[in-house]
Structure 1
Amino acid sequence: MSGAKPDLRAIEDVLYDSDPAVVVAMARDGCTLRIATYLPVTDLLGMMRQAGCQVELHQVVELPSICCGGCGG
């Protein structure tokens, strides 16, 4: 991400309504926003815009879940 730093709390608040288990954090590099959610990317982008964060599809990198389901979380 470039420009102004995103308001993590605002993003989390918007996403939480649709995914109460969402995790929003800034990566150590200070330029990468990490979001763990089950929401489809199109929904995620719309909600990010609602939170005041202009993110385009080409800026999103989707990673597969590595959850084995063993912990129930």
Structure 2
Amino acid sequence: MDRDLIVRITATSVLVAAFLLSSIAHFRVGVVGPAVVFGIVVVMFWPRRATPDNDTAGGVRDVEKKAV
């Protein structure tokens, strides 16, 4: 599997677990909730790294190379 995907799923799972624990304990849910949402947005939309076999990180450079 793709290592970046595993890292993203794991980080998202940790954030959701943190929110669930916070809501069960009734500990600052109004603060933890938006922080978790922001954290998930950052995790999911963070740019991917380039791999050695493919020097692109999402296909953007392929388009630029073809246009040149």
Q: Is the TM-score greater than 0.5?
A: no
Q: TM-score by structure 1 length? A: 0.25
Bigger share in strand: 1
Q: Which one has more relative contact order, counting CA pairs under 8 Å at least 6 apart?
A: 1
Q: TM-score by structure 2 length? A: 0.26
Return the index of the structure with the highest Cα Rg. 2
